[in-house]
């Protein structure tokens, strides 16, 4: 019998109605999950852990990502698979964060949730939960999102629809995880790092330049235009260069759902080369920012650059 450890962090799947809208609620999931497992997957044993504070996923922080990863790592020898029940708004961020922290884990770690509360008629929660449990009991390895009938690599996932049951996609996923060959070791996030993610928009130059200059950043992920282009603006370029000179690592991601950064294809993209920015290839902003949280401070900059280059080239 496969033993599955399930962590309930909060989110719509366990919500109830309140005068102020849907709120996460403790105590309603244990019987629902137990009944579903007994009826549809009797070959597994599920242990459910509900965090003391059930969070709307909009309230998730890097500290929460670290706690979830540590809780899984502490139990990795005692369970065959893991399911993380999570709100849909930031599941892609948590999925990417868990991927980097639990890299080379030899067991499945599956994130799921729901677009509508389990206790509501017609909810997508039972189907998502069944898919997650079945995947957690399979031979798959690594961190994945099981949602809307799809099982996707968590570090490639984007939330594409706020309403539809098939809420997630991985349009830039270029590969599937191979069986890990290295020994598993937790690489926990450092929540103290100051990592900025920002998205360019027409007319943003002065506002973003001012915001960048408010503090010193350890890392920056910029969602640029198209194949990796930056507006020609002296003030913005100067602000970015000052951060780079102070040691900030700048990663250049595309705003596009699919395609890759080809830094320097256009003159406006060559500015990033001058700044020493690292192209993200096909990696998402979620993957890039969480990678920085798990890697900065562990090696010198050149070693980190080579490590990121190997990730971005996949």
Once rounded to an integer, what is the mean pLDDT over residues 291-307?
A: 93
Q: How confident is the model at residue 143 (pLDDT cuts 50, 70, 90)?
A: very high
The topology under which CATH files domain 195-312 is: Rossmann fold (3.40.50)
Q: Is the pLDDT of residue 217 over 70?
A: yes
Tell me the domain boundaries of the chain. Answer: 2-169, 195-312
Distance in angstroms (rounded) separating the CA atoms of residues 76 and 83? 12
Task: Over range 177-206, report the average pLDDT.
Answer: 89
Domains 2-169 and 195-312 in one fold = yes
Q: Which tens digit of pLDDT belongs to each residue from 17-70?
A: 999 999 888 889 999 999 999 999 999 999 999 999 898 899 999 999 999 999
Q: Is 80 exceeded by the pLDDT of residue 174?
A: no
Residue 178 in this model has a pLDDT that exceeds 90:
no
* Pick from 225, 185, 186, 175: nearest CA to 205: 225
CB burial readout 159-172, b (16+ within 10 A) else e? beeeeebebbbbeb
Among positive and negative, which fits the CA dihedral 168, 174, 180, 182? negative
**What is the rounded CA–CA span in Å between residue 14 and residue 27?**
9
Residue 287 pLDDT more than 70?
yes
The pLDDT > 90 percentage for the chain reads 88
The answer to whether the Cα torsion of 21, 23, 29, 31 is positive or negative is negative
Active site residues: 12, 88
Residue 142 in this model has a pLDDT that exceeds 60 = yes
pLDDT for 102 equals 97
Q: Determine the Cα–Cα distance for residues 125 and 52; give it in Å rounded to an integer.
A: 22
Is pLDDT of 181 > 70? no
Distance, in Å, from the CA atom of 195 to the CA atom of 217, rounded to the nearest integer, reads 6
Banded pLDDT at 7 (limits 50, 70, 90): very high
Q: What is the mean pLDDT of residues 73-82?
A: 98
CB 14 within 8 A of CB 85: yes
Work out the average pLDDT over 103-130.
97
Spacing of C-alpha 235 from chain mean position: 32
**Predicted confidence (pLDDT) per residue in 250-261, tens digit:** 999 999 999 999
% of the chain surpassing 70 pLDDT: 97
Does the pLDDT at position 295 exceed 80?
yes
Give strand pairing partners of 199: 223
Q: Which of 71-75, 169-173, 253-257, 272-276 has the lowest mean pLDDT?
A: 169-173
Residues making up the binding site? 57, 88-89
Q: What is the dihedral of CA 48, 68, 56, 46, to 10 degrees?
A: -10
User: What pLDDT is stored for residue 265 in this prediction?
Assistant: 92
| Whole-structure pTM value | 0.95
Q: How far is residue 16's CA from residue 18's CA, in Å, rounded to a whole number?
A: 7
273 pLDDT exceeds 70? yes
Residue ranges for the known binding site for substrate are 57, 88-89
Q: How confident is the model at residue 175 (pLDDT cuts 50, 70, 90)?
A: low
Topology (CATH) of 2-169: Rossmann fold (3.40.50)
């Amino acid at each position: 019998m496969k033993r599955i450890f399930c962590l309930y962090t909060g989110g719509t799947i366990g919500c109830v109605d309140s005068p102020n809208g849907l709120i996460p609620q403790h105590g309603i999931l244990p019987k629902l999950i137990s009944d579903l497992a007994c009826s549809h997957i009797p070959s597994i044993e599920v242990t459910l852990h509900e965090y003391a504070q059930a969070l709307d996923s909009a309230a998730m922080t890097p500290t929460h990502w670290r706690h979830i990863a540590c809780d899984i790592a502490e139990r990795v020898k005692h369970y065959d698979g893991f399911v993380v029940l999570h709100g849909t708004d930031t599941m892609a961020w948590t999925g990417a964060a868990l991927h980097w922290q639990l890299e080379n884990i030899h067991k499945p770690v599956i994130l799921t949730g729901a677009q509508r509360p389990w206790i509501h008629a017609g909810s997508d929660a039972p189907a998502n939960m069944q898919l997650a449990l079945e995947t957690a009991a399979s031979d798959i390895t690594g961190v994945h999102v099981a949602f809307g009938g799809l099982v996707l690599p968590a570090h490639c996932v984007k939330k594409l629809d706020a309403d539809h049951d098939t809420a997630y996609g991985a349009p830039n996923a270029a590969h599937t995880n191979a069986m890990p060959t290295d020994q598993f070791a937790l690489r926990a996030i450092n929540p103290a790092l100051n990592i900025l993610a920002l998205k360019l928009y027409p007319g943003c130059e002065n506002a973003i330049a001012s915001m960048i200059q408010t503090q010193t950043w350890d890392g920056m992920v910029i969602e640029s235009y198209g194949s990796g282009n930056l507006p020609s603006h002296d003030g913005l370029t100067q602000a970015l260069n000052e951060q780079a000179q102070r040691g900030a690592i700048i990663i250049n991601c595309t705003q596009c759902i699919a395609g890759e950064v080809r830094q320097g294809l256009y003159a406006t993209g060559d500015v990033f080369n001058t700044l020493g920015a690292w192209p993200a290839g096909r990696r998402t902003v979620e993957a890039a920012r969480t990678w920085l949280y798990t890697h900065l401070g562990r090696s010198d900059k050149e070693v980190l650059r080579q490590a990121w280059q190997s990730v971005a080239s996949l």
